[in-house]
């Protein structure tokens, strides 16, 4: 039996705590069974609904308070309106590219509406079992379970590094010090869904140091840290440009490059190819690591320095980034390979793919020294 800690508002907390451990576990198992049929992207949409961090929601003004029952009802109605408007745009759209972008947005609305509708059904199922919780309370339990799943994933990956971090920092540490210590670490793994340690990983580590921080706070804290790290690297390159250049020259063994170095390796390549290049901030990059421009074309590029194959989630992210950055092309570059489903999805959305072999071929054929 697994019981989780849930941060519920007063009324829901009282009702939840009055339940026996068996009944609490009943809730847990039912939600866990529901999540087992949903992919990573769908689960992240649930997180976005909970934390109100979805940028498209902010753009359309879908702001609400999950502690109030009518807040989620208002969101459902607003999403229905957005879906209706998007369907109209799709019908009147004559551009194939724009139509595909709209269909991607449409699918996000459909997924959100599906979850909110399912949330109402789950509330009724619980009521039939004499478990009375608000939809906001059930959503909070969803978030806690997803967080637990993410934490379980990262606890296995990061446990070996945690001992080193604690030894380096000692007892006198701060949130900023912990985050900086993490960013200095070169990991010998990449997660299935993220090329770098993501916000869930940072949150897990911070909790091991006794800091309970929400995801939005962590992302905000990471912005100046990544900016400073980038500035430090740039200064180091200025002090010893030949060493930096030789590190990048003629190397097709991308495994020796960190995620940061691989991104800048590609940025240099695109510059040599005649593109204007912007590397996006490491935090809140909205699915694109590099934006390249040439003539009238703007391309959103996502970079994956992976050892395993890249899944279709990378394609979904870069399609969203294409719209966010108002680009007319999208591209994913990896040092490894793409799964068959990723290739199919990329083809359907006109996403350009460069795998490790393609990248080495371009470097060889063009004789480009980066």
Which pLDDT does position 293 carry in this prediction?
93
What is the predicted pLDDT for the residue at 64?
44
Which of 150, 180, 195 is the C-terminal boundary of a domain? Answer: 150
Q: Terminus-to-terminus CA distance in the chain, angstroms?
A: 55
Examine residue 235 and state whether it is found in any structural domain, yes or no. Answer: no
Residue 120 domain-assigned (yes or no): yes
User: Which of 103, 119, 150 is a domain's end point?
Assistant: 150
Asked if 211 contacts 330 with a C-beta cutoff of 8 angstroms, the reply is no
Exposure string for 266-283, b = 16+ CB within 10 A, e = fewer: bbbbbeeeebebebbebb
Q: What is the pLDDT of residue 20?
A: 86
- CA-based nearest residue to 132, from 15, 10, 27, 9: 15
Q: How are strands ordered across the β-sheet holding 290-294? A: 276-279, 290-294, 297-304, 329-334, 351-354
Residue 195 lies in a domain: no
pTM over 0.75: no
The answer as to whether 228 is a domain residue is no
| 181 touches 165 (CB < 8 A) | yes
Report yes or no on 164 lying in a domain: no
CATH code of residue 264: 3.40.1350.10
pLDDT at 68 (0 to 100):
52
Q: How many whole angstroms separate alpha carbon 87 and alpha carbon 221?
A: 38
Count of domains observed in the chain: 2
Residues of the chain with pLDDT under 50: 1-2, 53-67, 190-196, 244-250, 368-370
User: Vertex 225, ends 223 and 227: CA angle to 5°?
Assistant: 70
DSSP-based three-state secondary structure for 313: helix
Nearest to 219 by CA among 199, 191, 205: 199
What span, in angstroms and rounded, lies between the C-alpha atoms of 229 and 80?
43
Residue 311 and residue 194: Cα distance in Å, rounded? 10
Helices 135-169, 21-36: inter-axial angle, 10-degree rounding? 90
**Continuous H helices in the chain:** 10-18, 21-36, 40-51, 55-59, 69-92, 96-128, 135-169, 175-183, 199-208, 215-239, 241-248, 259-272, 313-324, 340-348, 356-366
Residue range of the domain that includes 91 = 10-150
The number of C-alpha atoms within 13 Å of 282 and in the hemisphere containing its C-beta is: 24
Residues 259 and 141 in one domain: no
What is the tens place of the pLDDT at every residue in 124-164? 999 999 998 888 889 888 988 887 877 777 777 788 889 89
Residue ending a domain, among 150, 181, 202, is 150
pLDDT value for 299? 94
The residue with tokens 């250049």 is: 245
Asked, for residue 208, whether it belongs to a domain, the answer is: no
**Residue owning tokens 């190397």:** 251
**319's tokens:** 């399609």
pLDDT value at residue 366: 57
Same domain, 143 and 267: no
Same domain, 17 and 139: yes
């Amino acid at each position: 039996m697994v019981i989780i800690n849930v941060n519920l508002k007063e009324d829901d907390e009282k009702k939840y705590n009055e339940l026996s451990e068996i009944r609490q576990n009943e809730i847990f198992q039912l939600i866990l069974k529901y999540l087992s049929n949903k992919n990573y992207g769908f689960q992240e949409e649930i997180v976005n609904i909970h934390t109100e961090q979805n940028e498209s929601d902010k753009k359309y003004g879908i702001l609400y308070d999950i502690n109030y029952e009518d807040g989620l009802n208002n969101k459902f109605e607003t999403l229905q309106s957005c879906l209706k408007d998007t369907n109209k745009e799709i019908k009147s759209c004559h551009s194939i590219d724009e139509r595909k972008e709209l269909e991607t947005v449409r699918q996000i609305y459909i997924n959100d509406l599906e979850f909110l509708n399912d949330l109402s059904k789950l509330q009724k199922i619980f009521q039939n079992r004499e478990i009375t919780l608000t939809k906001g309370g059930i959503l909070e339990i969803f978030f806690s379970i997803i967080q637990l799943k993410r934490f379980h994933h990262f606890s296995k990956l990061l446990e070996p590094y945690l001992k080193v971090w604690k030894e380096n920092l000692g007892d006198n540490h701060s949130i900023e010090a912990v985050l900086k210590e993490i960013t200095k670490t070169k990991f010998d793994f990449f997660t299935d869904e993220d090329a770098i340690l993501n916000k869930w990983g940072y949150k897990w580590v911070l909790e091991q140091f006794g800091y309970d921080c929400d995801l939005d706070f962590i992302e905000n804290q990471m912005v100046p840290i990544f900016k400073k790290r980038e500035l430090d690297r740039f200064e180091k390159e200025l002090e010893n440009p030949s060493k930096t250049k030789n590190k990048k020259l003629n190397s097709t063994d991308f495994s020796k490059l960190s995620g940061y170095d691989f991104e800048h390796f590609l940025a240099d390549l695109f510059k040599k190819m005649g593109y204007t290049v912007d590397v996006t901030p490491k935090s809140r990059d909205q699915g694109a690591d590099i934006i390249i421009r040439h003539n009238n074309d703007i391309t959103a590029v996502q970079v994956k320095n992976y050892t395993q194959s890249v899944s279709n989630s990378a394609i979904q992210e870069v399609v969203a980034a294409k719209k966010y950055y108002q680009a007319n092309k999208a591209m994913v570059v990896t040092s490894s390979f793409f799964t068959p489903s990723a290739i199919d999805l990329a083809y359907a959305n006109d996403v350009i793919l460069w795998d490790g072999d393609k990248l080495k071929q371009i470097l060889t054929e063009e004789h480009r020294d980066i």
